[in-house]
Amino acid sequence: MSESNNGMNEYRKSILEEKSKSDDDFEKYITFIASGSLGLTLTFIDKISPLDKSIFKWVIVLGWFSLGITLFINLLSHYISSINNTKTVQDVDDNIPYDELTNNIDKRNKIISNLNLTSIILLGFGILCILIFTTINAYNG
């Protein structure tokens, strides 16, 4: 029985390590895509469709704000995650009951999940705005 339990503990540990790596990658990719999209639009405006000749400028501004907010929320998510990890370690050190510990972790993870989902939605919306602006002005110019 303990050998089976040990195997499950190792499996659980490997899943948590993979989740941690995936979370790190998620934050990196969100940051990379959002900042890259901002940079590409600046190049488009500089080289292909200057703002003074563009139409529907509000669409690109909306896209930029969405990408900027995405970057901010991603940074906030990372910060809150770090704080939550410290709180969880403190909960473990305080020997709080297992049910309370898992309940606290679930509450904390829900906040991070909501922030991450918001980042994804804003990133998609920002990219969509940029694509709309680019398409309209590529044919307009």
Q: Is the pLDDT higher at 138 or at 141?
A: 138
Measured between alpha carbons, how far is 113 from 139 in angstroms, rounded to an integer? 39
Query: DSSP letters of 27-65?
Result: HHHHHHHHHHHHHHHHHHHHHT--GGG-S-HHHHHHHHH
Give the pLDDT mean for 54-59. Answer: 92
pLDDT at residue 139 above 90?
no
23 pLDDT band (50/70/90 cuts)? confident
pTM (predicted TM-score): 0.82
